Structure 1
Amino acid sequence: MSPERLPSRDVPRHDPAQLGALRADLTAAGFTVTAVEDLLGPVASAALHREQPLPALRATAPLVLSGSSALRGATAPTSADVPGGEDADARTAALVRVFVLGRGVPRVALAAALPTLGVDGAARLGLVQAAGAGRDDEVRARVDLRPYEAEDAAGPVRWWLVSDLGEVATGRALRTDHVLGVGGASTTLAQVTVRDRRRRVLDLGTGCGIQALHAARHAEAVVGTDVSARALAFARVNAALAGVGPERVELRAGSMLAPVEGEQFDLVVSNSPFVITPRTPGVPAYEYRDGGRAGDAVVRELVTGVGAVLAPGGVAQLLGNWEVRRGEEWHERVGSWLDEAGLDGWVIQRELLDPAEYAETWIRDGGVTPDRDRAAWDVQYGAWLDDFATRDVVAVGFGILTLRRPATGRPTLRRLEEHTGTVHQPLGGHLAASLAAHDWLTVRDDSALAAAHLVVAPDVTEERYLRPGSVDPEVVLLRQGGGLGRAVQAGTALAGLVGACDGDLAVGQVVGALAALLEVPADDVAADVLPSVRGLVRDGLLIPAGTTG
């Protein structure tokens, strides 16, 4: 991440009053994710998610044309001039066609969708450009503007976000200073972040500002940083569009941790520019994804350095890629970063790609495909494979890193696991509960655990597998309905103990009863089940009585 890059003129203008008018218009138009999907229908919506716009163009064209025809006789077209039930659909269609699909619409159609701001107001904000002042003159978007809906651990959110137009709208490869909207990684990070009350939150590499907006809901103050001044301009507009002022979200320019050196935060989130990119001529370095380091050095630098800005007990949650090199396991490399960091660490690897898959993914992400530009595709593909070969990389992992500065003493948590299956989002509440469970277990030896009263979490079910005609099950699984959806195989004693955990009896009392039933020494039963009980508490299948799961 090089020093701050100054913004070009093609960024939206930060004008809180005008953006407030835009927010009122989008609200009145009912421009929501659900409304867009209902308008397009399942086929066109699914195609658009695959970056195929033609079905959406066909779905919106008749509505825009009919709405425009209905408005041509009005002296001052507004949304109220469109007759009957066509009003909402025509406004939504105009907004989708302009800001999502990047196509032109007659000025009269956009004027009806934005009656308060108006087309001229949208142009002053840098959102659109108009061919003229006539009713039928074409208006086109200069930015992408679309509804955003998500649910994090603090509950549902609904905003609108402005970013650069993507290749679906432009038909071209992305510019290197492209400001990305909300992608899969952004959504993942928002959903896995812990959302209890925090005094100060840092969003490192804020981009369009989406993580800062999520953080503003549960923090007293948020600082968002980015090396890209264009990204900061978009983030400033998105905050104002959401009604979040600079007293809640402060934006700073700079690389990595430099803008907050000497400060401390209770929570750090970062969807950093972690994509491993060859430093080779012919391979674009996109600001939103390329941190300007070789290999996975950006993620390593964050993991080992973020502790300097964490307050005692503070948590950092990052997304990242890491290289898997020949002769080593992924957890060995990432584990060495945790050891160097001196922090509590929990890493969940969610995906593992071979070098060719990884290269294809990120070349396509930049808008280059074999069909559009075979020569550029081949150059970039070869550069990626050559770059990986120089470091003997055999795979690239992707995952979630949760780090914590111990409130006192030395780190007690070092957990690296692979979980590529389905998880139940939002995961942030589960991760927070698991950290709390780890702390609860850390201060309890086996005697204290035996004295504890536990209950089965409400999302846990038991599965029994028997052969036909058998009375006793051969396999008992304890399955977690939420969180990471873990399935734990339980032996006879453990299954019996979990079945008796209703909070009335202490764990030790249940162990004693099981020992008498099985006719074995209680110490043997305790030695068999207590380590597993610790795992079940840590993972949220069992919870201390009196707490919520």
Structure 2
Amino acid sequence: MDVTADRELCAALREDLREADYTAAAVRAAWGGIADDAIGRGLHGPALTALGDRTDALAVLARVFFLGTSAPVSDVDAALPRVGAAGLRALGLVSIDGGRVVPAALVRPQEFGDAAGSGLWWIASDLDEGALGGALPADHVLGVGGASMTLAGLQLPSFAGRVLDVGTGCGIQALRALRHADRVVATDVSARALQFTRLNALLAGADGRIDVRLGSLFDPVAGEQFERVVSNPPFVITPRVAGVPEYEYRDGGMAGDDLVAAFVTQVGAVLAPGGVAQLLGNWEYRGDEDGLDRVRGWVADSPVPLDAWIIEREQLDPLAYAELWVRDGGTVPGSPEYARLIEAWLADFAARGVTAIGFGYLLLHRPASGTPTLARYERVSQPVSKSLGEHLLAAVTAWERVSRMDDAALAASTLMVAGDVTEARHHLPGSEAPSIIELRQGGGFARTIEVDPALAALVGASDGDLPVGVLVAAIADLLEVDADALAADVLPRVRELLFTGFLAFTESAPTTSEVTHPDPR
């Protein structure tokens, strides 16, 4: 059934959902925490039991739109007085059979919050495996999942006039981008996904601000440029053999990690100078080749020079990776079909000598002028905040500033230790001096770094009062070491602490050595 984006019906549905208090918190309270956890595992029975025979608007909407079960037409009409069951059918969200409303899609509440405030959207998508009671169809349009929320939280909260959302799916990244943009172009290879994107844009009140276009990667925007590009692309590595489902929402139709490679090598052409691209992706480890080195090679192959910050969050072996995505498609573990698909995945990986698969975040930047200065490839496996956008923006801003500063300019700057940084000192029994000094970050990537007494002293003294150069000279005097040698050792590490967010600038600082260096005495 096609989904239709009718402006008047969507406005009516939005008002009905708001009046019914159809929110994530209200739904969760209606059936409780255990039932909510069960839904995440594809089990709807506990939630339906908890709702019992309730016929209030919230219960009816939770059954139909959250769980995908049928309800009497009279109950739906009462729950949605403006749009009614007939309006839902006109939108393509339900069918009506024998006096009952049969869901053709889910419409789930999605709460959001960022520096600009908080709000609520209702996001329509295809019925999930719990509602279908089996495997997903190949053209399934996914709702808001864990990866969607991860990328939404990574988006930089800074203004961008035009944003491109590649592989938009249900449109959640496009809506999130509109929080800090004038307009978004949303593309997808799935015509059905674009139907949902149009509908969700109207449900969110984003009339006319999202331009949807059909096509693969950057074909629909050839010759155009954007200040920001975001993408949760169909990066899942899928065997290219008969009998393996090719889900449009996760499979881009290319072998191995070629889709992410194509994105990285081609995105520079659609980035305006100074523009940033952010995406999620997988990359393979083949033989002795490090997966992050593969990504480094893709960046190097871009015809447009790019700064790159690549963060690997997880690494799976081929079996664990295959099990993850076979289960994701709704195939039951232990069944003959499950075993057949696992074997197909393992054979595909073996053919390329794949020993592991990495997953992570990619941030690519087209310099406004000059050559790239950032090439950071790292592994961050510890638990981190779900909303990293502000931290990423602060890091990129600090890097842009520091990259223009020589050591004299940095020494003339005053810095402040971040409010979430704590220090831990570890002593051997009976020892007065610490054997290990650690700085720990409470926010951002929750990094823990080991420092020496000199750097610990500098961080501890960074209260926005004295310039770095004065502090280094004082610490050198205290430790009875050469001040110039200490500065040469400490300043590169100060640059790193500024990028990672342990330290921050407190004022507008000069960027070249054309400054009067403070007398360190």
TM range, smaller chain: over 0.9
Aligned to 2:128: 166
For residue 469 of structure 1, report the CA deviation from its aligned partner: 5.0
Aligned to 1:42: 33
Q: 1:314 to 1:344 in 2, by over 3 A?
A: same
* Greater mean deviation of Cα atoms: 382-391 or 102-111: 102-111
Aligned to 1:127: 93
- CA deviation string 1:299-342 (max 9, x = no partner): 00000000000000000001111111111112211111111122
How many residues matched? 506
Q: Which structure 2 residues correspond to residues 93-172 of structure 1 after superposition, within 5 A?
A: 93-132=59-98, 137-152=99-114, 154-172=116-134
Q: Which structure 2 residues correspond to residues 41-60 of structure 1 after superposition, within 5 A?
A: 41-60=32-51
Residue type of the alignment partner of 1:28: E
CA–CA separation in structure 2 for the residues paired with 1:302 and 1:470: 54
For residue 155 of structure 1, report the CA deviation from its aligned partner: 4.0
* Greater mean deviation of Cα atoms: 116-125 or 179-188: 116-125
Contact kept? 1:203, 1:223, Cα under 8 Å: yes
For residue 44 of structure 1, report the CA deviation from its aligned partner: 0.8
CA–CA separation in structure 2 for the residues paired with 1:355 and 1:317: 26
For residue 108 of structure 1, report the CA deviation from its aligned partner: 2.3
Aligned to 2:172: 210
CA–CA separation in structure 2 for the residues paired with 1:151 and 1:477: 32
CA–CA separation in structure 2 for the residues paired with 1:369 and 1:162: 26
CA–CA separation in structure 2 for the residues paired with 1:352 and 1:11: 38
Aligned to 2:348: 387
Aligned to 1:278: 239
Asked if residue 350 in structure 1 is aligned to residue 313 in structure 2, the reply is yes
CA–CA separation in structure 1 for the residues paired with 2:371 and 2:438: 35
Contact kept? 1:14, 1:236, Cα under 8 Å: yes
Contact kept? 1:225, 1:251, Cα under 8 Å: yes
- CA deviation string 1:469-509 (max 9, x = no partner): 54433222111111111112121111111111111111110
Match of 1:199 among 161, 170, 176: 161
- CA deviation string 1:43-98 (max 9, x = no partner): 111111122211101011232xxx3xxxxxxxxxxxxxxxxxxxxxx221111111
Residue type of the alignment partner of 2:50: A
Contact kept? 1:153, 1:427, Cα under 8 Å: no
Structure 2 SS opposite 1:160: strand
Residue type of the alignment partner of 2:290: E
CA–CA separation in structure 2 for the residues paired with 1:271 and 1:237: 19
Contact kept? 1:100, 1:169, Cα under 8 Å: no
Contact kept? 1:11, 1:234, Cα under 8 Å: no
Q: 1:461 to 1:213 in 2, by over 3 A?
A: same
Asked if residue 228 in structure 1 is aligned to residue 190 in structure 2, the reply is yes
Aligned to 1:240: 202
Aligned to 1:516: 477
Contact kept? 1:206, 1:212, Cα under 8 Å: yes
- Contiguous gaps of at least 5 residues in structure 1: 1-9, 68-89
Structure 1 SS opposite 2:52: helix
RMSD of the TM alignment (CA)?
A: 1.3
Structure 1 SS opposite 2:53: helix
CA–CA separation in structure 1 for the residues paired with 2:197 and 2:480: 66
For residue 389 of structure 1, report the CA deviation from its aligned partner: 0.6
Aligned to 1:359: 322
Contact kept? 2:315, 2:358, Cα under 8 Å: yes
Structure 1 SS opposite 2:102: strand
For residue 290 of structure 1, report the CA deviation from its aligned partner: 0.8
Contact kept? 1:151, 1:426, Cα under 8 Å: no
For residue 528 of structure 1, report the CA deviation from its aligned partner: 2.7
For residue 418 of structure 1, report the CA deviation from its aligned partner: 0.4
Contact kept? 1:454, 1:544, Cα under 8 Å: yes
Contact kept? 1:424, 1:482, Cα under 8 Å: yes
Aligned to 1:543: 504
- CA deviation string 1:255-281 (max 9, x = no partner): 110000000000000111111111111
Percent identical: 53
CA–CA separation in structure 2 for the residues paired with 1:203 and 1:492: 47
- CA deviation string 1:378-430 (max 9, x = no partner): 22111111110110000011110000000001111100000111112310111
- Contiguous gaps of at least 5 residues in structure 2: 509-521
Q: 1:325 to 1:153 in 2, by over 3 A?
A: farther
Structure 1 SS opposite 2:385: coil
For residue 151 of structure 1, report the CA deviation from its aligned partner: 3.0
Q: 1:201 to 1:385 in 2, by over 3 A?
A: same
For residue 156 of structure 1, report the CA deviation from its aligned partner: 2.8
Match of 1:315 among 245, 252, 276: 276
CA–CA separation in structure 1 for the residues paired with 2:328 and 2:385: 26
CA–CA separation in structure 1 for the residues paired with 2:190 and 2:41: 28
For residue 468 of structure 1, report the CA deviation from its aligned partner: 4.9
For residue 157 of structure 1, report the CA deviation from its aligned partner: 3.5
Q: Scaled by the length of structure 2, what TM-score is found?
A: 0.95
Aligned to 1:61: 52
For residue 546 of structure 1, report the CA deviation from its aligned partner: 3.1
Asked if residue 13 in structure 1 is aligned to residue 4 in structure 2, the reply is yes
CA–CA separation in structure 2 for the residues paired with 1:130 and 1:439: 57
For residue 152 of structure 1, report the CA deviation from its aligned partner: 4.3
Residue type of the alignment partner of 1:144: L
Structure 2 SS opposite 1:146: strand
Structure 1 SS opposite 2:357: strand
For residue 154 of structure 1, report the CA deviation from its aligned partner: 4.3
Structure 1 SS opposite 2:355: strand
Match of 2:374 among 384, 399, 413: 413
Contact kept? 1:153, 1:194, Cα under 8 Å: no
Contact kept? 1:153, 1:426, Cα under 8 Å: no
CA–CA separation in structure 1 for the residues paired with 2:330 and 2:26: 28
For residue 153 of structure 1, report the CA deviation from its aligned partner: 5.4
* Greater mean deviation of Cα atoms: 311-320 or 214-223: 214-223
Contact kept? 1:350, 1:400, Cα under 8 Å: yes
Contact kept? 1:111, 1:118, Cα under 8 Å: yes
Residue type of the alignment partner of 1:361: L
- CA deviation string 1:133-171 (max 9, x = no partner): xxxx32221111110113345443410011100110010
Aligned to 2:511: none
Asked if residue 92 in structure 1 is aligned to residue 58 in structure 2, the reply is yes
Contact kept? 1:160, 1:242, Cα under 8 Å: yes
* Greater mean deviation of Cα atoms: 150-159 or 326-335: 150-159
CA–CA separation in structure 1 for the residues paired with 2:233 and 2:257: 11
Match of 1:339 among 300, 304, 312: 300
Q: 1:203 to 1:404 in 2, by over 3 A?
A: same
